[in-house]
Amino acid sequence: CSTWGNFHFKTFDGDIFSFPGLCNYVFASHCNTPYEDFNIQIRRMVVGNAPTINRITMKLEGVAAELTKDVVMINSNRVQLPYSQSGIMIEKSSIYVKVVSKVGIVLMWNGDDSILLELNEKYANQTCGLCGDFNGLPIYNEFYSNNIKMTALQFGNMQKMDGPTEHCEDSTSTLTANCTDNSDDICQKTLTSSAFAECNILVDVREYIMACQEDLCRSEESKNASCICDTFAEYSRQCAHAGGQPLNWRTSELCPKKCPYNMEYQECSSPCADTCTNPGRSQFCEEHCMDGCFCPPGKFCLFLNLGTVFDDINNSGCIPLQQCSCVYNGNTYATGASFSEQCRSCTCNGGQWSCQDMSCPGTCSVEGGSHITTYDKKHYDHHGDCTYVLSKHCNDEIFTILVELRKCGLTDTETCLKTVTLNMNKGQTSGNCISLSNANATVFRPSSFFIIMQTKFGVHLEIQITPIMQVYVRLDPIFKDQTCGLCGNFNNIQTDDFKAISGIIEGTATAFANTWRTQASCPNTQRSFENPCALSIENEKYAQHWCGLLTNSQGPFADCHYAVNPSVYHTNCLFDTCNCENSEDCLCAALSSYVRACASKGIQLSGWRTDVCSKYTTSCPRSLSYSYTISSCQPTCRSLSEPDVTCNIEFVPVDGCTCVNGTYMDESGKCVPANECPCYYRGSPIPFGEVVHENGLVCTCTQGRLNCIGAPSPTPVCESPMVYFDCRNVTAGTTGAECQQSCQTLDIQCYSTQCVSGCVCPAGLVLDGNGGCIPEEECPCVHNEATYQPGEKINVDCNTCVCKNRKWECTEDECLGTCAVYGDGHYNTFDNKRFSFNGNCEYTLVQDHCGTANGTFRVVTENIPCGNTGTTCSKSIKVFLESYELIFGEERVTVIKRGQNAEVPYTVRYMGMYLVIETTSGLILMWDKKTSIFMKLSPDFKGQICGLCGNYDGNSINDFTTRTQSVVQNVLEFGNSWKVSSTCPDAHSIKDPCSTNPYRKSWSEKQCSIINSNIFAACHSQVEPAEYYRACVTDACACDTGGDCDCFCTAVAAYAQACSEVGVCIAWRTPSICPLFCDYYNQQGECEWHYKPCGASCMKTCRNPSGKCLHNLPGLEGCYPNCPPDKPYFHEDQMKCVSLCDC
């Protein structure tokens, strides 16, 4: 529907009429329905004898928008263009202001006299206003009222909508013109000229010639010839809308147009302009051409495309693609410029980065007593209670680094790093803090906070002591692919970091870490799901305030955000600060971990201690006092716990500093009162307030002495076949129960620091883990904490593994990769990197058009928002395959064919609540018709795809590769680079909806705890639930305008689906939690349809009567029919079982 020029209108059904009203009129509204989706009103005025539209007001699904010449108002607030929120997008091109609403409305206004409105056909028969009733019949029901024919004037006046205090007079003037027949008929000439030859076939031209002639007559009275230009322009627009290609009809005399920069005016060119940030935009344009200013098209000369693209980085008009700049970390680099960082250098080449990787040392760390980062940058948490192999050279054992993690608080999750041991050349060395055995290493303390060990063969250890103990290991690149232990295998592939000695990849951190225990007597640590911040409101506030500094974009750490993503550090900081007895120490340790990570990237954050953690800078030994004659030993804290050897030595009195007035010297040389002294246990200091668990005793440190509760365990009576080994009657150097081997520790050397008494197996037997002793060869295999007897088989993804001699032997088939996108912007890439990003534009999820390669498919997703915080409820997904385009939206799939291809390159089938598309190229899409989409890709595409789903090369470190081929750390920079349209605004911040809607937080945590509950217990050891739980809580907090149960159910279903992928089937839905109403499909009195939590295998359907599928997908939950033998085929469109002839 449109209006233009001198009060001309064209209805949806094709009538053209004139109506010279100057009031506020309903242009088009949604009527005859219980809920009004849209209402568009316009008001015209006459300026300088020419009518112009001066105001458009729209109500689109409850959002009020108002367009005037210079200002766009949304809900009475002035907004900047481009604008994209709550399902409405407004952008301005060189000529038009374009409003697009997700409900199916496109409105284009040229800022002056003309509006073009396009509606989705679902609104047929449901419109009112000057645009008519959209029933496909011209004249009828617009110009008839109770069977009486009306004039255009009467019809127009009926659509008037006065304001509350306004009384606008009905228009009465009819536009008559006593017109002499004009001999030189410019209207006829122009509208039937060669420029409109194609259009004359598509759009009937006679009415436009008449409108033009009327305007021409009147213009002799009003001295205004611009009216005829408006009609020519309208005919051109209608032609483009009908799919035609009008040519340039404007000349320097007839209706000329000027353009900015070096752009050219085109009558019909693609509205999706190629730009420097997205040079391939026009290949996937879904809109018809329009008039406006465009970059001049290129000349093809010797296979070179000399075309120009719009420079949207410097806004300098049109330039050849080779001259485009690149952007990195907010800075612009001209083509040919380069930057270098540690480990890589990049050069800008025509808008794309080309990067060179250098080999770099690997770093592994244990921070906060439980957060471990591997050499390949995988982060995981392990609350251990044992000595573990942190890292060792697998074959030659050139070095071995052991760490002792112990419980040091009242809760199970409070664990501390107690000792670090470096073993060289299989030497048996040990010690409480540090110990050394040979000249291959140097140890020094650069500051009172750190101890550094440097070896000659490429291992570098940095141990932080204040405020709490943390360790950082740096390895030279020569050790690549040769290490094992908690730090992983240093091969730049994150996905196999949890590979155990037995040769199989464990599913969870706990299962993996338990395989690296060095003592058989250590307990298997259990997973804990409690959130320490939930235990104390005060601690939580404290932690959120101070840890929030890490992610604050104006905070002291902001300068480093582009190089080191703070989100992992922020999560760990919250956890540690809430969990610790001494919150401040743990907080400062967590902050210093981030500072250290930045320093290792070459970014020095100075001055961060000014507001936080300042106590460590001022506490130096001021408290000592001078004495002339000191004749006895120093009063030290150590002497409170154990006798001090130095006190027996008599010496000549000396002068110097000493502690006076009942104070004692602690480890750092300060004088403190007894109640602040650490205690000493087996020689190592235990800070005030910390807890030690030993032999059935629980000891706390108070007043410098250990206070223990509980009774020490008596000499144990060993159950047969075990025997008691007593260290008191053996020679020095003999190892005791600490070296008793079990099936789990057979492959790990024994590292003994002192002989320990206890029960051991008779010679030749090893512990089986359940208290019995068995011969070594009968040991079972372990996978994800379950034990398997020799010869048993298990399936891992698409491979089978057999247990032989405690090791797994697996087939090595390549499996399909999976990328999951669900809920409010949660992504899990093909290489298993997780992140959250929600913008309001269309984004490329996955495509194989990367770099210069010509691809076969592209998947584009668009979030449709709901909720005040910008949460997204439903996604619309577009899949471009060869010449087909599939659009998923509103619970169905529509197909648009764009070319002449005989073979259909995909199949569609319904599986439970999912719609499954399988393509011949090896892409499978599973969509739950709401917000979850799972994509599977065949391994042939490894390393050849790009988009928000990563690059599928097995290495998740480089998954944040932008469209310009640079690897970034910032999620927003990565997400925004994959926008399809460069005019859509960037997403600026990642909101935390639980802090925006605190009243929803407890509800969310309570609901989502189902993921951590016993219902999913079978899956906890296979798929780590923590990330899914976190995603669930944010989604449930965010959906605050309806759909909250949907958000919650989708998040839980995503975890259930991940479990189903590893073969664990969980029936979690109940009548009160996310029920599925399968009975809806049953005819009355029948009972074919049932809910299946893990789906059925391939069904015989009308589309696929053989019942064989291309890929055997894991079961997808949903409603499935049990088809009776007489009607064995399932008809997917009618949703019922039929016999073959009814298909």
Q: CA–CA separation, 597 vs 604, rounded Å?
A: 10
Residues 756 and 850 in one domain: no
Query: Is the pLDDT confidence value at 161 over 70?
Result: yes
Residues 581 and 641 in one domain: no
Angle at 250 between CA 246 and CA 253, to 5 degrees: 165
Q: Residues 1041, 867: contact at Cβ < 8 Å? A: yes
**HSE of 974, CA atoms in CB hemisphere, 13 A:** 25
Residue located via tokens 């899949």: 879
Side chain identity, residue 718: C
Residue 668 — pLDDT band, cuts 50, 70, 90?
A: low
What is 536-569 written as a DSSP string?
Answer: -HHHHHHHHHHHHHHH-TTSTTGGGTTTS-THHH
Query: Is the pLDDT confidence value at 713 over 70?
Result: no
pLDDT score at 1043: 65
Q: CA–CA separation, 991 vs 1012, rounded Å?
A: 25
What is 615-664 written as a DSSP string?
Answer: HHHH--S-S-EEEEEE-S---BSHHHHS--GGGG-----EEEEE--TTEE
- Supply the pTM of this predicted model: 0.78
Query: Is the pLDDT confidence value at 40 over 90?
Result: yes
Residues 973 and 1002 in one domain: no
Query: Is the pLDDT confidence value at 571 over 70?
Result: yes
Give mean pLDDT, residues 1126-1135: 79
- Answer yes or no: is 316 within a domain: no
Range of the domain at 234: 176-253
* Residue 687 DSSP class: -
pLDDT score at 107: 92
- Answer yes or no: is 729 within a domain: yes
Instruction: Look at residue 967 and give its three-state secondary structure.
Output: strand
Q: Please state the three-class secondary structure of 129-178 as a single string.
A: CCCCCCCCCCCCCCCEECCEECCHHHHHHHCECCCCCCCCCCCCCCCCCC
- Answer yes or no: is 64 within a domain: yes
Q: What average pLDDT does the structure give for the chain?
A: 81
Q: CA–CA separation, 132 vs 764, rounded Å?
A: 94
CATH code of the domain containing 762: 2.10.25
In terms of C-beta density within 10 A (0-12 exposed, 13-18 middle, 19 or more buried), how is residue 969 classed?
middle
Residues 234 and 136 in one domain: no
- Answer yes or no: is 530 within a domain: yes
Residues 1001 and 860 in one domain: no
Q: CA–CA separation, 162 vs 183, rounded Å?
A: 44
Residue located via tokens 């907090």: 1037
Query: Is the pLDDT confidence value at 13 over 80?
Result: yes
* Residue 1083 DSSP class: P
Instruction: Look at residue 476 and give its three-state secondary structure.
Output: coil
Residues 1048 and 939 in one domain: no
Q: Which residues contact 287 (CB under 8 A, 6 or more apart)?
A: 270, 271, 272
pLDDT score at 649: 44
Q: Residues 583, 547: contact at Cβ < 8 Å? A: no
Q: Residues 588, 466: contact at Cβ < 8 Å? A: no
- Answer yes or no: is 796 within a domain: no
Q: Which residues contact 765 (CB under 8 A, 6 or more apart)?
A: 721, 773, 774, 775, 776
Q: CA–CA separation, 795 vs 910, rounded Å?
A: 26
- Answer yes or no: is 166 within a domain: no
The model's pLDDT over 587-621, given as tens digits with 9 standing for 90+, comes to: 888 888 888 888 777 777 777 777 777 766 555 45
Please give the backbone phi and psi of residue 452, each rounded to the nearest 5 degrees, phi first: -120, 135
Q: Give residue 1141's Cα distance to chain centre.
A: 47
Q: CA–CA separation, 494 vs 498, rounded Å?
A: 9
Residues 962 and 943 in one domain: yes
pLDDT score at 178: 58
Residues 862 and 955 in one domain: yes
**Which is higher by pLDDT, 467 or 389?**
389
- 645: which 2 tokens? 């050897």
Residues 973 and 998 in one domain: no
Closest CA to 123 of 26, 261, 28, 17: 28
- Answer yes or no: is 704 within a domain: yes
Query: Is the pLDDT confidence value at 418 over 80?
Result: yes
Helices (H) and strands (E) in the chain, counts: 17, 73
Residue 58 — pLDDT band, cuts 50, 70, 90?
A: very high
The model's pLDDT over 428-470, given as tens digits with 9 standing for 90+, comes to: 444 334 444 455 677 776 666 777 787 878 888 888 887 788 8
Give mean pLDDT, residues 903-911: 81
Give percent of the chain above pLDDT 90. Answer: 5
Per DSSP bridges, beta strands 331-333 and 338-341 are: unpaired
- 228: which 2 tokens? 């005829």
**Residue where one domain finishes, among candidates 1001, 1030, 1061:** 1061
**HSE of 882, CA atoms in CB hemisphere, 13 A:** 13
Q: Residues 669, 636: contact at Cβ < 8 Å? A: no
Q: CA–CA separation, 369 vs 388, rounded Å?
A: 13
Q: CA–CA separation, 798 vs 937, rounded Å?
A: 13
> How far is CA 128 from each of CA 67, 88, 109, rounded to the nearest angstrom?
21, 22, 20
- Which letter, b or e, does each residue of 73-93 get, where b requires 16 or more Cβ atoms within 10 Å of its Cβ? ebeeeeeeebbbebbbbbbeb
Residues 913 and 830 in one domain: yes
Radius of gyration of the chain measured on its C-alpha atoms: 37
Instruction: Look at residue 109 and give its three-state secondary structure.
Output: strand
Q: Which residues pair with 625 in a beta bridge?
A: 658
Give percent of the chain above pLDDT 70. Answer: 88
Query: Is the pLDDT confidence value at 224 over 60?
Result: no
Residues 490 and 584 in one domain: yes
**HSE of 251, CA atoms in CB hemisphere, 13 A:** 5
Query: Is the pLDDT confidence value at 874 over 90?
Result: no
pLDDT score at 1110: 66
Residues 625 and 704 in one domain: yes
Q: CA–CA separation, 193 vs 1081, rounded Å?
A: 59
Name the range with the highest mean pLDDT among 85-89, 842-846, 993-997, 1134-1138. Answer: 842-846
Greatest alpha-carbon pair distance for the chain in Å reads 132
Closest CA to 322 of 273, 261, 276, 274: 276
Instruction: Look at residue 1080 and give its three-state secondary structure.
Output: helix
pLDDT score at 461: 85
- Answer yes or no: is 1112 within a domain: no
The model's pLDDT over 121-148, given as tens digits with 9 standing for 90+, comes to: 888 888 989 888 888 887 777 777 777 8
CB atoms within 10 A of CB 618: 7
In terms of C-beta density within 10 A (0-12 exposed, 13-18 middle, 19 or more buried), how is residue 957 classed?
middle
**Residue where one domain finishes, among candidates 198, 230, 253:** 253
Query: Is the pLDDT confidence value at 185 over 80?
Result: no
Q: Please state the three-class secondary structure of 861-881 as a single string.
A: EEEEECCCCCCEEEEEEEEEE
- 1002: which 2 tokens? 């407890």
> How far is CA 990 from each of CA 56, 567, 869, 995, 996, rounded to the nearest angstrom?
33, 11, 10, 12, 12
pLDDT score at 304: 43
Q: Residues 91, 82: contact at Cβ < 8 Å? A: yes
> How far is CA 224 from each of CA 219, 231, 526, 534, 587, rounded to the nearest angstrom?
5, 13, 85, 74, 75
Instruction: Look at residue 372 and give its three-state secondary structure.
Output: strand
The model's pLDDT over 956-1015, given as tens digits with 9 standing for 90+, comes to: 888 898 888 888 888 888 998 888 887 788 887 767 788 888 888 888 888 899 999 999
Q: CA–CA separation, 382 vs 522, rounded Å?
A: 14
Instruction: Look at residue 373 and give its three-state secondary structure.
Output: strand
CB atoms within 10 A of CB 149: 9
What is the count of structural domains for the chain? 8
**Residue where one domain finishes, among candidates 1061, 1082, 1117:** 1061
pLDDT score at 1045: 77
CATH code of the domain containing 90: 3.40.1000
- 1106: which 2 tokens? 């053989």
- 63: which 2 tokens? 């959002």
- Lowest mean per-residue pLDDT among 72-81, 649-658, 942-951: 649-658
Q: Residues 232, 265: contact at Cβ < 8 Å? A: no
Query: Is the pLDDT confidence value at 283 over 80?
Result: no
Q: Which residues contact 8 (CB under 8 A, 6 or more apart)?
A: 16, 17, 18, 211, 231, 234
**Which is higher by pLDDT, 847 or 641?**
847
